[in-house]
Structure 1
Amino acid sequence: MAVVGSIPVSEEEWRAAYGLAPERDAPFTTLSGEAIRPLYTERDLPADREA
């Protein structure tokens, strides 16, 4: 596993760090076959969620 010198704090930094390592040759899906993205942020949450 690659070690990055610092913890990424922005999505752009995270994507740059993520790109340093090859992705596993395995499907990233839920049990029902839905694709799983490598990173989810607050923007992925429903707009009407309770605070």
Structure 2
Amino acid sequence: MDNSFPGSSSAVIQKGKFVFVEAQLQGGAPWGFTLKGGLEHDEPLIISKVKF
């Protein structure tokens, strides 16, 4: 199944119970997901919502 967006690239790596995702999106929002946390909040960055 291809879940990519036109003009985007991504990589997924699983290490134990963690899944690391790197995504580079082009174009304007919305992209269909919501992020929570991040360095500015001194918290891990979490995908908190995904729209299908």
- Give the TM-score normalised by the residue count of structure 1: 0.24
* Greater share of residues in strand: 2
- Give the TM-score normalised by the residue count of structure 2: 0.24
Larger Rg: 1
* Greater share of residues in helix: 1
Pick 1 or 2: higher relative contact order, CA cutoff 8 A, min separation 6: 2
